[in-house]
Amino acid sequence: MECVLLNSTEPAGHDKMSHSRIWFWNELGKSLQFACLLILFSCTTLSWADADEIAEDLQLELQRLQHQIDELKAASVVPAGDSSIIPAGASQYICTPDKSCGELDPAKPPYPTTKITGFFQADAVWFDQSPANQFAVGGGVPAMGDVQDGADFRRTRLAAVGKVWENIDYMIEFDFAFPGRPSFMDVWLDINDVDGANNLRIGQFRTPFGMDGQTSVKELTFMERALPAAFLPFRQIGAMYYGTNEDDSATWALAGFRYPTDTFGGNVGDNGGFGMATRITKVLGDCKEGHGLFHLGGGYSFVDPANDLVQYQNQPEVFVGETGGAAQVPAGVPSNVPPFVNTGLIPTDNVNLFNVELAAAQGSFYAQSEAFYTVVNQNVGDTLTFSGAYAHAGYFLTGEKRVYNRKNGVFGRVKPNSNFGDCGGTGAWEIAGRWSYIDLNDENIQGSRLNDLTAGLNWYLNPYTKFQWNYIHAMLDSPLNGDSSADIFAMRAQVDF
């Protein structure tokens, strides 16, 4: 059995003496107990009154001695790894069964370590569609395109993160609002400093493609990612090699993965079933020091789907649904937000994806944009080309700056200058606007074209709590059903820890 010996006055070379003292106090306690039993036995020859008085005195003395012994033992021996009861300033030693001891580094935590994190996003959504939009979204059946108002938990996640060794990190995250209930999210291990500053990640993770896709959903400017997110390979199971340069002004990542995976990280298939993705970014300047910041990035991905099928679709940047339970969905209407654009299943040999990223920040203002091109090589028929793009900008009315995460090449968490409730603090208030576009029309595939204009207002009460309000004007161009529009108002409450 391992233990940690504490000795605040003697060096490591006196570990044998520490063992001797522990043995001594253990044996002394046993001897005192035996001696007291003998004395109590002898007291039976005395008068009952004298015996009772002596026994009471001996019992009190025995309790006092036992208490002192327990205190000495507790100060001398504690379980290995239990640093919570190690006195400040005491040196630490690991003791093995052969009584050999080695000094521990007090700055290093015991392994493994675990931290519980999580967040939830509660949404409420209202729709106002034109009759033409209901007809187009419903595929010619207006009732099936009549999107219902509602409320839902968009995401509800719990995760365990930590280290199993000094150079091995891990994360296990589940979502209880996604279809799998729970669904696998980020489930991976990281081997740090494999080659200099580069790391190796194995498991399920967000594939390195696109700035919007690499930004955490907890830190998005708007409630959802832009329309071109439909093209992202996103979370897959595989391995990724990634790192930064010496001053963290450039990032790179290369990943190989199975494709596509299900909600539990699984994939099977002999014919294809793999993909790769890579992303490179470079940033100039640093807005944290009051200077302007400019970000440039690009990515490429290749996928050969296991089932020789791909499908691209998206809603107008908002999601809400009802999957059963006590509430009953009205007959004939959709139980969630149906896709406004949809290619349907396309028999496919492989797909090539390209994107370019631009972003900038100056003071309380920042902007970000990306362009995407997707080339689909059909099994039968001409090669298809789909495209998408977005541009958004934000401004902090209360003077904050959007922090740039140099390790990941994305904008990061907003930290208010004054938290709401702290000495009259108001939190951080942000206004933002976005144009987003996706075109799924080409050759024999007529998946429609969608443009979204979004106005956003965000209130960050503190770094871990925020409210968001989005107004979305969706403009649908359907080759079969013509032009139509929908107006959507959505709000969200989010807390993470």
pTM, full prediction = 0.78
Token pair recorded at residue 225: 């990612």
What's the rounded Cα separation, in Å, for the pair 17 and 25?
A: 13
Query: Token pair 């519980």 is at which residue?
Result: 116
- Judging by beta carbons within 10 Å of its beta carbon (0-12, 13-18, 19+), is residue 158 exposed, middle or buried? middle
The answer to whether the beta carbons of residues 397 and 374 sit under 8 Å apart is no
Q: What is the pLDDT along the chain (497 residues), one digit of tens a residue?
A: 333 333 333 444 444 444 445 545 555 555 555 555 444 444 444 444 454 565 566 667 667 767 766 665 555 444 444 444 444 444 444 444 444 455 555 666 788 999 999 999 999 999 999 999 999 999 999 999 999 999 999 999 999 999 999 999 999 999 999 988 899 999 999 999 998 889 999 999 999 999 999 999 999 999 999 999 999 999 999 999 999 999 999 999 999 999 999 999 999 988 889 999 999 999 998 765 656 899 999 999 999 999 899 999 999 999 998 876 556 777 888 999 999 999 999 999 999 999 999 999 999 999 999 999 999 999 999 999 999 999 999 999 999 999 999 999 999 999 999 999 998 899 999 999 999 999 999 999 999 999 999 999 999 999 999 999 999 999 999 999 999 999 999 999 999 99
Token pair recorded at residue 284: 């100039």
Count of CB atoms situated within 10 Å of the CB of 354: 16
Question: Which of 186, 132, 129 minimizes the C-alpha distance to 155?
Answer: 186
Phi then psi for 70, rounded to 5 degrees?
Answer: -60, -40
CA atoms within 13 A on the CB side of 150: 21
**Helices marked H in 77-187:** 131-137
What's the rounded Cα separation, in Å, for the pair 50 and 52?
A: 5
Count of CB atoms situated within 10 Å of the CB of 235: 20
Which domains are present in the chain?
3-103 (no CATH), 119-151+216-229+242-496 (2.40.160.10)
